[in-house]
Amino acid sequence: MAQGQKIGIVGAGLSGAVIARELAEAGFEVEVFDTRPHIGGNCHTERDADTGVMVHIYGPHIFHTDDAEVWDYVNGYQTFLPYKNRVKTTSQGQVYSLPVNLHTINQFFGKTFRPEEARAFIEEQADKTITDPQTFEEQALRFVGRDLYEAFFKGYTEKQWGCSPTDLPASILKRLPVRFNYDDNYFFHKFQGMPENGYTDMIEKIFDHPKIKVTLGRHFDPRAPHDYAHLFYSGPLDGYFGYEFGRLGYRTLDFERFSYQGDYQGCAVMNYGDASVPYTRITEHKHFSPWESHEGSVCYREFSRACGENDIPYYPIRLVEEKAQLADYVARANEEKSVTFVGRLATYRYLDMDVTIREALDTARLFLSKSKDEAAMPAFVHAPL
């Protein structure tokens, strides 16, 4: 494949943008398509016309990474301002700090434990009769005992995944989900921040290259005849094949948007742990930009449910039963020529933004080295299975 040849990219999210830019800088003509009327995919941000608040249209996005190259990459297109994700939860009539930490434990049990005392206390709470946990519930009971499990894990998990924690695998909860200090920073990563003017502004700058053409509001049928030397597809894997083997399972989200004059909840994210509250959390978007000041406020109540045919797929479920179906799609994809499946939908995995960028950079680099050697590009650089 020679420079100057046209490359097609389906999807103007982070995957499509990063690949488009790398290829354009290497001399390829790149054409990008997105069904939506905006770039940015699910990271899309937009200022609310009434309040001026920067809204994360498809749900809250916090950038965090240990990958120094990815951190430098995003900072090349946008100033990232300091932001620490600190989440609260309302449970059983009180507000607590998450992830469950020493403050949460002391408040919940009415104690003044120091770290080692709290550790010993939680060990006493743990259900030691469970020796080989098979389910999420058994794993949580074994780690933290029934009281903490019911207050902080059970109801939220039921709402988020639409099933009982007794039907979810133990592997979801790999480590003890509790901290024995007062660290309430949600993420452990070295770099964390928020783009000063939003993710869409950053992605617009990534696309800003004379060899990149972006067409919005255009659903691209990847299997219809086209004249691209290679296609990068970041749409749904099952959709590419017309759902031939059935639909892969996803959860979708409904956002109930409301405005408020003033400060509605005093933080960006408030979870609701009780099963009796139908939503999982409320997001107050202005707190994602603490360097800005707005009188008005925009909030989202977030509801999770099974994804139907006309819904936006958000979280891949990846149930054990889906493995065979996914394997069928992967086998079909591997038979395709001159197309590479990229990003969260085409590889049917949950990917944080930093991982999405890392994978897109690696994919573009592999493509550039393969095209130099005139070698074929694989269908997957990052396999779904």
Residue number, nearest CB to ligand FAD: 41
Query: Exactly one of 34, 137, 238, 302 is catalytic; which is it?
Result: 302
288: helix, coil or strand? helix
Q: Which is nearer to ligand FAD, 241 or 314 (CB)?
A: 314
- Under a CB-based contact definition with an 8 Å cutoff, are residues 106 and 118 in contact? yes
The token pair at 57 is 């249209």
Query: Is 142 part of the annotated catalytic residue set?
Result: no
Contacts of 41 (CB under 8 A, 6+ apart): 11, 12, 13, 14, 15, 16, 34, 234
Q: Does 74 bind ligand FAD (CB under 6 A)?
A: no
The angle at the Cα of 58, spanning 55 to 63, to the nearest 5 degrees, equals 75
Size of site (CB under 6 A) for ligand FAD: 33
Contacts of 293 (CB under 8 A, 6+ apart): none
Q: How far is the CB of 16 from ligand FAD (least distance, A)?
A: 6
Query: Exactly one of 175, 309, 321, 374 is catalytic; which is it?
Result: 175
Q: For residues 267-301, b (16+ Cβ closer than 10 Å) or e, as one string?
A: ebbbbbbbeebebbbbbbbbbbbeeeebeebbbbb
Query: Is 281 part of the annotated catalytic residue set?
Result: yes
Which parts of 23-42 interact with ligand FAD (CB under 6 A)? 33-36, 41-42
> 315-316 and 250-261 as β-strands: parallel, antiparallel, unpaired?
antiparallel
Peptide bond preceding 99 in cis form (omega within 30 of 0): yes
Query: Is 251 part of the annotated catalytic residue set?
Result: yes
Q: Which is nearer to ligand FAD, 60 or 133 (CB)?
A: 60
Q: How far is the CB of 234 from ligand FAD (least distance, A)?
A: 5
Query: Is 179 part of the annotated catalytic residue set?
Result: yes
Q: Return the closest-CA partner of residue 203 out of 9, 12, 11.
A: 12
**CA–CA separation, 191 and 84 (whole Å):** 10
Q: Does 54 bind ligand FAD (CB under 6 A)?
A: no
Of the candidate residues 28, 152, 207, 220, the single one contacting ligand FAD (CB under 6 A)? 220
Q: How far is the CB of 110 from ligand FAD (least distance, A)?
A: 33
Q: Does 107 bind ligand FAD (CB under 6 A)?
A: no
What is the DSSP code (8-state) at residue 127? -
Query: Is 352 part of the annotated catalytic residue set?
Result: yes
Q: Does 215 bind ligand FAD (CB under 6 A)?
A: no
**CA–CA separation, 356 and 345 (whole Å):** 11
Q: Does 316 bind ligand FAD (CB under 6 A)?
A: no
Query: Is 256 part of the annotated catalytic residue set?
Result: no
Q: Which is nearer to ligand FAD, 16 or 198 (CB)?
A: 16
Q: Which is nearer to ligand FAD, 63 or 136 (CB)?
A: 63
Q: Does 343 bind ligand FAD (CB under 6 A)?
A: yes
The token pair at 155 is 């109801």
- Under a CB-based contact definition with an 8 Å cutoff, are residues 191 and 64 in contact? yes
The token pair at 374 is 């005139």
**What is the torsion angle, in degrees rounded to the nearest 10, for the CA atoms of residue 288, residue 289, residue 292 and residue 294?**
-30
Q: Which is nearer to ligand FAD, 139 or 356 (CB)?
A: 356
Q: Does 351 bind ligand FAD (CB under 6 A)?
A: yes
Sole window of 6-14, 153-161, 162-170, 277-285 interacting with ligand FAD (rule: CB under 6 A): 6-14
Q: How far is the CB of 151 from ligand FAD (least distance, A)?
A: 24
Of the candidate residues 70, 98, 345, 379, the single one contacting ligand FAD (CB under 6 A)? 345
Q: Does 10 bind ligand FAD (CB under 6 A)?
A: yes
Q: Does 314 bind ligand FAD (CB under 6 A)?
A: yes
The token pair at 348 is 């049917």
Strand order in the sheet with 63-65: 63-65, 191-195, 80-82
Instruction: Please give the positions annotated as active site.
Output: 175, 179, 251, 281, 302, 350, 352
Contact residues: ligand FAD, CB under 6 A:
10-16, 33-36, 41-43, 59-63, 219-220, 234-235, 253, 314, 343-345, 351-354, 356
